[in-house]
């Protein structure tokens, strides 16, 4: 059997935008993924559905798997000929025990690669407006583990650290914040030296407390802090308020669930992230071609007899042209056929095949499409609609009432999916998701399939159209509908919902 290979991949500090391109490419090809609890949920959601998952756990005082066992698992899975990805929060070699994990692999001749990750001592201060180096304040940076074994004293040379005059970053030291500050003060640090504790940096849970070395523990106890968090000590901490930028983004502090077909990466998610949201992008549905495409193949044989070809989704366009290609044909056979689409997203997909729609309604839904097309029919036109197995019946009714001869062919069906790694129900119940974004009625149904028992009245839902809103309304969600059925309008709605929620909190 061919020997497998292991990749140690740094997942970064949490924001999926800080996950490296190489890390993403390696992850896509994984047979086995060994992940830890510090990996951001957005990245966990990108693990291939066919990959085997192994939870290594690892968080302070809660080690799910002993290090020796983890090393052995990496070795054994590689010996089976598999591509193994060890997915680690931050960077594999910065207090990540990456070196320990490689020792056993090297001993047994297992090939490996290391994919560095964006590390929290740099990224988290940056997201909080703290430059870890600044020539007006310091000339060095020192990264120290703040973790100490139970019942033992620190082996940190606080005197040496104070003497450097540089920025100090302590990782895994939240529980020992008092000991760290006391150690620095006893080593001669100025009690007024600026210091900060930074919670869950680069995510929606980001929070910072800036004080001095002598007052940081007291301020932290007063304001409260959650892990993971890092401690930064140095004059550069005084720049946080002036240089802070993340909290100024319109959606900073909001976690948004975007439901999507499992084979797609959502443009909606990208737009929300640009505005500061932490987006949890989870598949709720998967579209698969119908096993029997004989009806479509027959229609393709007669395509010159049709006057209109109607697409109601980007997936419908994609499925149609896959079958067209499979039949050994190209777009030239559509030369005499006019094309109608339901909206801009479908039109965009059509343009990928160098075709421009002849008709698109002003309102992007099935009824509006049917009414717009019915208005231009003279009667007797043959109309082909290749679409989802369960499509909007009113579209066909409107066209037939106008005299159209409609051939409504199911070309794909929707399968509901549930995340293997993320408990969506628990995320909503614990208040960790502020809003769910739905782009179709089927994604609403997929979400419900994956969250049985959830009290849906607790779900804020941003919906892209009437049918989507109606589907969410049926479950009692707190629904809002975008003014237009476009991604831009939907994103604007989420911004408006956050603004209203923030105003409500301030009034309370």
Q: Which residues have a catalytic role annotated?
A: 36, 58
Is 339 within 8 Å of 319 (Cβ atoms)? no
Secondary structure (DSSP) of 182-204? HHHHHTT--TT-EEEEEESTTST
Beta partners for 59? Answer: 62
Angle, alpha carbons 292-395-489 (nearest 5°): 105
Of 297, 298, 346, 362, which Cα lies nearest the Cα of 325?
297
Beta strands 229-233; 167-171: pairing state: antiparallel
Is 417 within 8 Å of 285 (Cβ atoms)? yes
Which pairs from 63-70 meet CB under 8 Å and 24+ separation?
64/37, 67/97, 67/100, 67/101, 70/34, 70/101
**50 to 91, 342, 420: CA distances (angstroms):** 25, 33, 11
User: Which burial class, exposed, middle or buried, applies to 69 when counting CB atoms under 10 A from its CB (0-12, 13-18, 19+)?
Assistant: exposed
Sign of the CA dihedral with 72 first, then 73, 77, and 83 last = negative
Beta strands 194-199; 207-212: pairing state: antiparallel
Sign of the CA dihedral with 298 first, then 304, 307, and 312 last = positive
């Amino acid at each position: 059997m061919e020997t497998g290979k292991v990749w140690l991949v740094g997942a970064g500090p949490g924001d999926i935008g800080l996950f490296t391109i190489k890390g993403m490419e390696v992850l896509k090809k994984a047979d086995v993924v060994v992940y830890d609890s510090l990996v951001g949920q957005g990245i966990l959601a990108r693990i291939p559905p066919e990959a085997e998952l192994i939870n290594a756990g690892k968080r302070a005082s809660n080690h799910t798997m002993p290090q020796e066992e983890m090393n052995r698992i990496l070795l054994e899975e590689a010996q089976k000929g598999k591509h193994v990805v060890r997915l680690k929060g931050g960077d594999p070699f910065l207090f990540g025990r990456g070196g320990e994990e490689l020792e056993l692999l090297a001993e047994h001749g297992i090939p490996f690669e290391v994919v560095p990750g964006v590390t929290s001592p740099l990224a988290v201060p940056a997201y909080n407006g703290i430059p870890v180096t600044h020539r007006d304040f310091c000339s060095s940076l020192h990264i120290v583990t703040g973790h100490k074994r139970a019942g033992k004293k620190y082996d940190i040379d606080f005197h040496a650290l104070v003497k450097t005059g540089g920025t100090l970053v302590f990782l895994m030291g939240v529980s020992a914040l008092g000991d760290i500050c006391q150690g620095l003060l006893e080593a001669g640090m100025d009690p007024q030296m600026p210091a900060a504790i930074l919670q869950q940096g680069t995510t929606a849970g980001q929070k910072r407390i800036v004080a001095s070395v002598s007052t940081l523990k007291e301020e932290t106890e007063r304001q409260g802090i959650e892990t993971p968090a890092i401690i930064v000590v140095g004059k550069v901490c005084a720049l946080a308020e002036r240089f802070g930028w993340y909290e100024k983004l319109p959606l900073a502090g909001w976690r948004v669930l975007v439901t999507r077909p499992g084979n797609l990466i959502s443009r909606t998610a990208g737009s929300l992230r640009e505005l500061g949201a932490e987006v949890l992008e989870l598949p709720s549905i998967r579209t698969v071609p119908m096993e029997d495409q004989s009806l479509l193949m027959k229609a393709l044989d007669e395509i010159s007899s049709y006057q209109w070809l109607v697409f109601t989704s980007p997936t419908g366009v994609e499925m149609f042209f896959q079958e067209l290609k499979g039949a050994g044909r190209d777009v030239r056979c559509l030369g005499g056929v006019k094309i109608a689409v339901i909206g801009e997203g479908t039109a965009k997909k059509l343009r990928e095949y160098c075709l421009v729609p002849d008709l698109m309604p002003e309102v992007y839904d099935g009824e509006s499409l049917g009414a717009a097309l019915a208005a231009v029919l003279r009667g007797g036109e043959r109309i082909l609609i290749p679409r989802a197995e369960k499509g909007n019946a009113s579209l066909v009714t409107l066209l037939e009432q106008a005299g159209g001869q409609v051939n409504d062919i199911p070309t794909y069906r929707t399968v509901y999916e549930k995340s293997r790694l993320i408990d969506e129900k628990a995320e909503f119940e614990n208040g960790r998701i502020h809003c769910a974004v739905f782009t179709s009625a089927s994604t609403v149904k997929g979400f419900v399939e994956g969250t049985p028992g959830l009290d849906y009245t607790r779900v804020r839902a941003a919906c892209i159209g009437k049918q989507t809103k109606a589907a969410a309304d049926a479950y009692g969600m707190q629904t809002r509908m975008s003014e237009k059925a476009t991604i831009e309008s939907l994103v604007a709605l989420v911004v408006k919902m956050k603004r209203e929620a923030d105003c409500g909190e301030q009034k309370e």
